[in-house]
Structure 1
């Protein structure tokens, strides 16, 4: 058998009571919900709020409530009146320009029949307004400045105007604006440009300049007595137009180079030896070189100079030398002594790799200390034997291998304390002594001591001995001195009612009452 439950919920009708206030009409939405349809000047879930602005009393502007009355704020609207219904703002006109023109050649004025001015008009009322103007009759403008006034008026009589300025210039090309046969071009606004003939330049072609014909093949042109003249200085050229090449090519030879002969050979063959000679010429030509490079690339011992030459198309010639030096191989003979191995470094140079007890450029020096026989100390040679100097090391023996130096201990202190009031001793359980320990062996050593049992110190001086021993049995010690004083305030240290303060180390101070003074308040001041 199977069963299920059905849940039925009964709500009180929300419209049964006065759910909606101020004359609002209630509508039951079911499930205990409702909505209110409020009359004109009320709003809210239950029509509880009075708002006369709901009647939209303002034609323009913003409505707000003042003393329960709907009031209109006209600020920034261009309107006035109780409901912001009166238009008090002029239209807005925006005139373009200014404009400028040149008169036609030979004319004293200009006709601009198709001249159109796009004046922008707007009004806060949203009306579409037209403009009127005093545009010149037939579009004829005389030389000088003309101001055209445009006006617009809205339906309530508000009016505004703006001006378009048109300036007419005399055509600059009407006269002889360009000199020496130059051609004038009218650019408008009273401006012009001149296209000059070949040997003239300037704004009005007023300057004679024969260098404009570019008579110089090379060099720099200048005017001498109204004649174009060529300055060839620094160009490598000569002649009236700097047309004659008089400069040799430029060659840059690399080097010098040097090589060693192979072992047992009297010369060396450098078949693949390549020399990159740099060649340039003021003419811009690509030039090749010739040389007296040795036949088959065989170079003998000593210095050889190879001459490279280059010649341009006008016969100018230059040369340079590459120097190649051949050295006898230094490892060909017994360069390295005492069994050392020779390495050829080139250029007649070499290096020797010496066996264990020899050193020097050619392994000529016997030095048994190179075997590093001393464990500690410094090695020196005595009668051709490596000997160890152990002085100042803390070691002894043939190789300074025996540690003979005690550790080093540094004890702090001394320390001093007062006993507590009424006590004959003091317990210093947390008293810690930082003893510094070091050893020539580099070992990390610990210390032992005869620190008093339970940290109890009696009155008087106690010496605590600290000891350390290294792995070879060398030992050292030091003492920490702790002195305990009887508390001076334990007795009647301060007289005549003075208060005693313990300063430590057996010292004290007295705080005297008003009529006494002195170290123990022993003196009456009255």
Structure 2
């Protein structure tokens, strides 16, 4: 130390450099290190992609000291990685005297990176049997986060829930500790492959409407239920009240649900034709036997028939036009049958009249002398006979009998014949009894007046 004593003033000055203080003759450093250009300002940055930290660079602080020597220590260095959150970075500068200057600044690392979710694949599943839904299960979505921590999660649906027909998005939402969120979505598709369940009316059996080849048939429409709970649309091959032809016709209802699943049900309408044909027979026929025959060949216009079916029935007959018919009445029956085996008959009568009388044959006239000593003669002959077109032997009667005694003169003997139809015919022959005796000169003496022979007429 250097002291100067001047009048009225005594001063001393140190020989130490600036920043030093002399203590007991020794220069002691009393000046703290000086940080220059100053402590860095607080900084904020986001994490490195996919990492729970950020690599932070900065211009580190520096310090000078009057001593010319500074020792630096720090909690971090530029390029270090900093975890998410606030980190205080401290720089300490110490001079040889142990004087310390600190520099503190904060590095804030923000996590702005959302979680990375992984959703299950889309799910397609059929409805549960008979239901409009499907119970669908899946493995829950997961998520990773750059923070290394497991994000919290929530979901719009839970595995095992019932899902309606169609497509439903299931969304998982994940949130990390920095409130960054991310979502993933997968789709659950519930297919309805279950067809409607139809109920058809029972089969219908009905007769044709009177006089028609059809029947107007009504029924209660078929219905159907569907697992969707909705009423299926329907169409049908026929409509209640339609006219149905004779025979069997299938009526089919087709139902379709909103998923285009279809189902059919069928019932049968049977139209029976119980209506017989309507025949028309010719009028009764009356005809005489053909000449000299016991029959008559008779013709007629065949019977006809109409049928409600509109078809011509088949026919058969007991006789054929042009047949020969015996004397008397014969029923001719036509039988008609339609395609449904309904039959009907009509009958007319053919009457053959026999108006032809018997044909008699009388014996020839007989001429005979009286029996000896008698005024009569006993005369015999072969009986008259008759034929008849009927083929039967007519009955006969006669005015005389073979072997009768006949008086002198002429006597007509008449045979009358009658057939079964009461037609009669006569034939007559004459018996002549001569009343003469032979004289000695071989001449005849007439004993009785002659009898005149008259002609006779045969009744036909």
Question: What TM-score do you get using the length of structure 1 for normalisation?
Answer: 0.20
Structure with more contact order per residue of length (Cα contacts < 8 Å, sep ≥ 6): 2
Structure with bigger gyration radius: 2
Question: What TM-score do you get using the length of structure 2 for normalisation?
Answer: 0.22
The answer to which structure has the higher strand fraction is 2
The answer to which structure has the higher helix fraction is 1
